[in-house]
């Protein structure tokens, strides 16, 4: 017990740079809007190359595409529905969502957070690229405050590429398919068109692709605590670090409690 031995050493510092990715929550300070639900969805054709990126589909309204459908978010687009073309798709698909951001929130910081997008994602807000992310294993977020139109509808576009290679996790490869028609009682059948690509995984599960977890628009005060790091060791010394988004005119209060909820130490830190 540090308070009994009297050897409690407290070190603290205030960092301005480091960040961490917290799970979203609603409390008296922060809130979020869920962007889950039906998103507009457009699939690129087989062997589409990078047709969407090349033609800047991010500047277009995917809603106006004749072949646009809707896709639930979160879900694996290739594991829903009955279309084998969508199930076997390799390459890009595009998602779009329109979101009204009220004028009321114009002083809040707006952060777009994705729980998981598999595999490679490029994110655009109001047609402008805001971030890209590799891999569906971890969440990612991007501050879009400067791109948001307050009191107006905002267009969020996400291009997702599920092509696996020797440098992805898991690793995969893809084969170019030769037209390989089979003659079944006079009917000429072929599963894939000539030159289509087919994924060859070196793993024993399905390559679930798309926006696999929830998406939120997180609203937080512009000045906020970004990180708290506490290191306590057996000598009774105790190090804590907090990171704030800005050091301008802020004051950080740190209270330490014992097991009976009594305050054993109290700090007010005024960064210099």
Ligand X SMILES: *[C@@H]1O[C@H](CO)[C@@H](O)[C@H](O)[C@H]1NC(C)=O
Binding site for ligand X (CB under 6 A): 42-45, 48, 51, 65, 67, 91-92, 120, 161, 163, 183, 185-186, 188
The least CB distance from residue 123 to ligand X, in Å, is 14
Can you tell me whether residue 96 is helix, strand or coil?
strand
Closer to ligand X at the Cβ: 40 or 242? 40
The DSSP output letter for 170 is S
Backbone angles phi, psi at 16, to 5 degrees: -110, -10
CA 204, 208, 214 angle in degrees (round to 5)?
A: 135
Closer to ligand X at the Cβ: 32 or 92? 92
Range list of H helices, the chain: 2-5, 51-54, 84-87
The least CB distance from residue 65 to ligand X, in Å, is 5
The closest residue (CB) to ligand X is: 91
The least CB distance from residue 42 to ligand X, in Å, is 6
Closer to ligand X at the Cβ: 163 or 214? 163
The DSSP output letter for 80 is S
The least CB distance from residue 132 to ligand X, in Å, is 8
Closer to ligand X at the Cβ: 4 or 183? 183
Those residues whose C-beta lies under 8 Å from the C-beta of residue 244, and which sit 6 or more positions away, are: 14, 15, 16, 223, 224, 225, 226, 250, 252, 271
The least CB distance from residue 49 to ligand X, in Å, is 6
Closer to ligand X at the Cβ: 103 or 184? 184
Q: 196: number of CA atoms within 13 Å, CB side? A: 16
For residue 37, give Cα distances in angstroms to 13, 104, 142, 151, 214. 42, 24, 20, 22, 9
Closer to ligand X at the Cβ: 42 or 108? 42
Quote the CA–CA distance of 136 and 152 in Å, as a whole number. 31
The least CB distance from residue 161 to ligand X, in Å, is 4
Would you state the structure tokens that stand for residue 33, as one six-digit string? 């809007």
The least CB distance from residue 41 to ligand X, in Å, is 11
Those residues whose C-beta lies under 8 Å from the C-beta of residue 56, and which sit 6 or more positions away, are: none
Closer to ligand X at the Cβ: 101 or 121? 121
């Amino acid at each position: 017990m540090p308070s009994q031995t009297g050897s409690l050493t407290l070190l603290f510092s205030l960092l301005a740079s480091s960040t961490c990715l917290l799970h979203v929550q609603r409390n008296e300070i922060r809130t979020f809007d869920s962007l889950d639900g039906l998103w507009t969805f457009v699939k690129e054709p087989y062997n589409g190359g990078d047709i969407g990126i090349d033609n800047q589909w991010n500047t277009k309204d995917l809603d106006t595409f004749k072949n646009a459908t809707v896709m639930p978010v979160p879900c694996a687009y290739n594991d829903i529905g009955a279309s084998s073309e969508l199930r076997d798709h390799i390459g890009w698909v595009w998602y779009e969502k329109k979101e009204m951001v009220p004028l009321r929130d114009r002083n809040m910081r707006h952060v777009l957070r994705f729980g998981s997008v598999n595999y490679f994602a490029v994110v655009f807000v109001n047609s402008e690229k805001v971030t890209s992310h590799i891999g569906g294993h971890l969440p990612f977020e991007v501050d879009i405050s400067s791109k948001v139109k307050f009191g107006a509808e905002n267009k969020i576009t996400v291009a997702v590429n599920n092509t696996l290679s020797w440098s992805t996790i898991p690793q995969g490869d893809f084969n170019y398919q030769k037209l390989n028609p089979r003659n079944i009682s006079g009917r000429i059948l072929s599963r894939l068109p000539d030159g289509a690509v087919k994924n060859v995984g070196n793993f024993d599960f399905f390559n679930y692709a798309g926006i696999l977890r929830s998406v939120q628009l997180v609203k937080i005060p512009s000045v906020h605590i970004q990180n708290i790091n506490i290191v306590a060791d057996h000598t009774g010394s105790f190090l804590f670090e907090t990171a704030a988004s800005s050091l301008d005119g802020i004051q950080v209060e740190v209270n330490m409690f014992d097991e009976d909820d009594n305050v054993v130490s109290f700090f007010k830190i005024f960064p210099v």
